[in-house]
Structures are given as C-alpha cells and as structure tokens.
C-alpha cells in the first residue's frame, strides 16, 4: 500500500484527486492547528512513498536521509529553495513544483503592497479605528502619487512582467534589471533595460521578483539602499533573504527610503519581536502572494497531479 504524507491541508480538490487516482493509498494530513516540528517530519517520512509539502517545510539532507521509500516530493509552491534538490536527486527522489499558476495573484499582491505603502492605507485604517480622526487637515497622512512615476522591476520573469503590465494603466515609466534582456516586453510595455545601480537611483518604486539563489541572496543591502531616493518605496514578494533585512530595518528607521511593502521575510513566520513589526512605514503580509481561491485550487490540483503521476511510475510534468 502506498503511503502519502501531506504537511498542510490543501484545498479539497487536490485531496480528492489523490484519493480518486490512488484509491488504495494511505493518506495522512498534518492537522492545521498543530506545528509540524522537524522531529515529527522525520518520523512521518520514514516509510512514506510520497510527500506533499509547502515552502515553509525545510526538506534538507537530514530529513531526506530519514526516508526509506520516498519516491517523490511534491512542493506546493513555484519555488523550491526549501528542498535540498541535489541530495534528493542523488537519492533518486523526484521533486516537483507548481509553476505558472501563481503569476497573476502574486502580481496583484505586489500592487496591493504598492498602493498600501505609497498611500499609507494601513496607517490610515488604524488611525481611524483608534479614534484619532477628529478633523480634516491638509497634511494628514500624506503619501505619494503613483501615476506617471518610475517603476523599477528587479527580475523580469513571469511575475515581474505581470507587475509591469499593470503599470501601463498608471502611465508609469518602466525600467528593469534582469539576467537577460526581454525585447518583447521592452517593445510591448516601452520598458528599458538598465543596470541595477541605475534602477535603484532612478526608480520611485522598486519591486523585487527574483528566485533565491547564491547570487541573489542579500542582493539588496546597505550599499544598494544608499543608492535609492529618499522618497522611494521597496516592494518584495519574492523571497525574504534577497534583502539584507537588518539593513532594511535601519533605512526604514532612519527614513532613508519612504516605505516598504513585504510579503516575504528572512525567517517565516516572522517573529513578533522583529523590529519590522513596530515600524509604521512598512506594510507586512503573512506570505499571501498566491492566496486566492482560484490560485490555491490550481496549485492543489497541480501538486496532487505531480504526486500521483510520480507514484504511478510516470514522469510528472513539473519536475524540477
């Protein structure tokens, strides 16, 4: 009998697909209200054939080594930096992800952060709820215009391109820095390829959309922040570790940039003692990039299909 462990309860469409395709499989789902410790994951992985996990589950060499029968790790995410791919491959364990379906939802959340940070929406909401709104004043909670400003995209992949497309309606000047030039995007959106230094100096909004690699880890640090305008806004919906978080805290405290909007952090969930939590000029979200019913349903179906195909001895379409 095949054994499957699912580390988070994904939407029912995905669970139903697994049960329909593998009716005799034993499926165990980690209760949402319980914390999945590394020790428990090591125990669960010992005799399972398939693992369906999320980005917050660290599947390192120690975890993989504990598995005796594991054939596939189906990651419920487009990223896979939580998994030791090299070691899994060495152990002949397939690793899959859910690419493509997160693009529009993540682009939307990036724009949500842009609006919230530029127009101080979270501050304004709290101001009103705290009973502080007693009269109108010309200087009350002033933010920044978006229309006609310069948007700098770091990483013009699927999500970066989707964010850039949305900027057209705001008549924004689009500049970007990426591993490769994108002639089609440049032509369609009138975007301009620039080096990172130029982007940081010129952009009013800097939005990051790169994978976490050795090259991108802490690619935005103290040196890079010093290049940015005092009125600029930093948005990150990619991976927390692409920013030097301590350097970001310092520039926000010192108001060397206007604001930031973050959906990702170096350590997740973020510690409530993290200084970012206390700062008013940063908007914080609990990694909600793909958190729509439509997107999470698609992710559940893709992750489930990847798992099922691998366990049937077939080649899953989204092999990493």
- Please pick, among 61, 268, 280, 294, the residue that the annotation labels catalytic: 268
Torsion-angle region of residue 150: left (phi > 0), alpha (psi -120 to 50) or beta?
beta
- Paired with 262 in beta bridges are 236, 284
- Dist CA 228 CA 209 (whole Å): 18
- Dist CA 51 CA 54 (whole Å): 10
Does 267 qualify as catalytic in the annotation? no
- Dist CA 201 CA 180 (whole Å): 20
**Exposure pattern of 130-143 as b/e (b: 16+ CB <10 Å)?**
eeeeeeeeeeeeeb
**Exposure pattern of 52-77 as b/e (b: 16+ CB <10 Å)?**
bbbbebebeeebbeebeebbbbbbbb
- Dist CA 30 CA 2 (whole Å): 17
- Please pick, among 120, 209, 287, 296, the residue that the annotation labels catalytic: 287
Half-sphere exposure (CA, 13 Å, Cβ side) for 155? 22
**DSSP H or E stretch at residue 73:** strand 72-75
Does 119 qualify as catalytic in the annotation? no
3-state secondary structure of 239: coil
- Dist CA 265 CA 258 (whole Å): 19
CB 79 within 8 A of CB 237: no
- Please pick, among 202, 239, 245, 296, the residue that the annotation labels catalytic: 239
Long-range Cβ contact pairs of 192-196 (< 8 A, separation 24 or more): 196/154, 196/224
CB atoms within 10 A of CB 15: 17
Does 9 qualify as catalytic in the annotation? no
**DSSP H or E stretch at residue 161:** helix 158-167
Q: Which residues carry out catalysis?
A: 239, 268, 287
């Amino acid at each position: 009998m095949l054994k499957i462990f699912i580390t988070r309860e994904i939407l029912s469409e995905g669970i139903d697909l697994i049960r329909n395709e593998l009716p005799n499989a034993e499926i165990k789902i980690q209760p949402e209200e319980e914390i999945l410790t590394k020790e428990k994951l090591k125990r669960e992985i010992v005799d399972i054939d398939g693992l369906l996990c999320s980005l917050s589950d660290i599947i390192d060499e120690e975890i993989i080594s504990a598995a005796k029968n594991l054939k596939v790790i189906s990651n419920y995410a487009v990223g896979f930096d939580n998994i030791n791919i090299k070691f899994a491959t060495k152990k002949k364990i397939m690793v899959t992800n859910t690419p493509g379906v997160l693009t529009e939802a993540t682009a939307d959340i990036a724009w949500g952060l842009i609006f919230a940070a530029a127009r101080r929406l979270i501050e304004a909401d709290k101001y009103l709820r705290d009973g502080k709104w007693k009269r109108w004043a010309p200087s009350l909670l002033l933010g920044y215009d978006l229309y006609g400003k310069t948007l700098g995209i770091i990483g013009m992949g699927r999500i970066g391109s989707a964010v850039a497309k949305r900027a057209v309606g705001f008549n924004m000047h689009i500049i970007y820095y990426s591993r490769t030039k994108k002639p089609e995007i440049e032509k369609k959106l009138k975007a301009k390829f620039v080096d990172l230094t130029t982007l940081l100096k010129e952009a009013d909004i800097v939005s990051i959309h790169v994978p976490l690699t050795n090259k991108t880890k802490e690619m935005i640090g103290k040196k890079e922040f010093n290049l940015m305008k005092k009125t600029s806004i930093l948005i990150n919906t990619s991976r927390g570790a692409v920013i030097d978080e301590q350097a970001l805290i310092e520039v926000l405290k010192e108001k060397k940039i206007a604001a930031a909007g973050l959906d990702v952090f170096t350590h997740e969930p973020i510690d409530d003692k993290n200084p970012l939590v206390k700062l008013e000029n940063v908007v914080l979200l609990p990694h909600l990039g793909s958190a729509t019913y439509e997107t999470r349903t698609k992710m559940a179906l893709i992750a489930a299909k990847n798992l099922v195909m691998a366990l049937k001895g077939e080649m899953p379409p989204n092999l990493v």
